[in-house]
């Protein structure tokens, strides 16, 4: 609980410290709201986003890992309220969590193997994915031993403490950055793009 309060408080402080930058004095040519909505929805599809389209496998692996992680975090919260329900949920979602764990391990290995990723990675990048894999692994194991739930809750607390400090805070800044860019380009009439496909 304390870890959750810390994570929420620290992230709020970081988000609030991102200043809007004052009013835009230029004359608008479009809708910032439409641009924001586009960039948080259709703009993320592989049909619109080249980085996903050129790397469909890695894109899919990333999606699966994130889905599994979100599911585990949700079940940790459920488990706080109703221990049995939480463990039942983890049992039910084992296939997803298992695949998500494999996805996470693939990304961890890939980061150490790829020339480009090694050049741009710092220890925090490895810690972030390792912590996530740890959550997924413990979520798989938790229903199988007596102290499973307590161990998982303790681990999740550690993860939440680290979340605002390192790269994992992209969980929140993802929305801020996509929102800000979408809003800015929407204001200029550049988003949503008229012809969004690669033409």
Partner 1 sequence: MCAEQKAAAAEPTQAQVPRPASAGAPTTGHEARAAQAELARVVRGPVAAHLNACVRCGLCAETCHIYLAEPEPANVPGVKAARVVDHYRRYHTLLGRLAPKLVGAAELSSAALEQLVETVYGRCTACGRCAVHCAVGADVAAIIRAGRRVLAALARVPAGLQRTVHNQLETGNQMAIPREELLSTGQWLSEELRSELGDERAGIPVDRKGSRVLYLINPREVKFFPLSLLAAAGVFHKAGESWTLSSRFYDVTNYGFYSGSDVAAAELTRRVMAEAAELGVAEVVLSECGHGFRSFRWEGPNWIARRYPLPMRSILTLIEEYLDRGRLRPDPEKNSERVTLHDPCNLVRWGGVSEPQRRILRRVVREFVEMTPNRANNFCCGGGGGMLSMSEFGERRLLSGKVKAEQIRRTGAKIVATPCHNCADQLIELSRHYELGIEVKAVSELVYAALV
The residues binding partner 1 (CB under 8 A) are: 14, 17-27, 29-30, 39, 43-44, 49-52, 54-55, 58-59, 62, 114-125, 127, 165-167, 169-170, 173-174, 176-182, 184-185, 188-190, 193-195, 198-199
**Structural tokens at position 38:** 């586009």
Alpha helix ranges (H) inside the chain: 2-16, 32-40, 50-54, 56-81, 83-92, 94-113, 115-120, 123-141, 148-162, 170-187
User: Cβ closer to partner 1: 134 or 143?
Assistant: 134
Shortest approach of partner 1 to residue 193 CB, angstroms?
A: 5
Closer residue to partner 1, CB minimum distance, 58 or 94? 58
What is the closest distance, in whole angstroms, from the C-beta atom of residue 93 to partner 1 in the complex? 24
34 versus 94: smaller Cβ distance to partner 1: 34
**In angstroms, rounded to a whole number, what is the distance separating the alpha carbons of residues 161 and 169?**
11
Q: What DSSP string describes 25-76?
A: -SPP-S-HHHHHHHHHTGGGSTTT-HHHHH-HHHHHHHHHHHHHHHHHHHHH
Shortest distance in whole angstroms from residue 45 CB to partner 1: 12
Q: How far is the CB of 88 from partner 1 (least distance, A)?
A: 33
Nearer to partner 1, 98 or 165 (CB): 165
Q: How many residues does the chain have?
A: 199
């Amino acid at each position: 609980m304390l870890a959750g309060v810390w994570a929420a408080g620290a992230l709020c402080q970081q988000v609030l410290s991102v200043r809007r930058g004052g009013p835009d004095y230029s004359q608008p040519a479009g809708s910032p709201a439409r641009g924001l909505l586009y960039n948080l929805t259709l703009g993320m599809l592989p049909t619109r986003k080249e980085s996903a389209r050129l790397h469909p496998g890695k894109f899919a692996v990333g999606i699966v890992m994130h889905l599994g992680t979100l599911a585990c975090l949700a079940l940790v919260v459920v488990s706080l309220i109703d221990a049995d329900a939480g463990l039942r949920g983890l049992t039910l979602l084992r296939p997803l969590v298992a695949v998500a764990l494999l996805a996470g391990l693939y990304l961890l290995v890939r980061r150490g193997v790829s020339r480009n990723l090694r050049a741009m990675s710092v220890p925090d990048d490895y810690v972030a994915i390792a912590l996530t894999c740890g959550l997924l692994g413990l979520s798989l194991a938790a229903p199988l031993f007596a102290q499973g739930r307590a161990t998982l809750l303790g681990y999740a607390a550690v993860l939440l403490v680290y979340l605002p400090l390192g790269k994992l805070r992209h969980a929140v800044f993802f929305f801020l950055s996509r929102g800000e860019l979408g809003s800015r380009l929407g204001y200029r009439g550049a988003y949503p793009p008229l012809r969004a496909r690669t033409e």
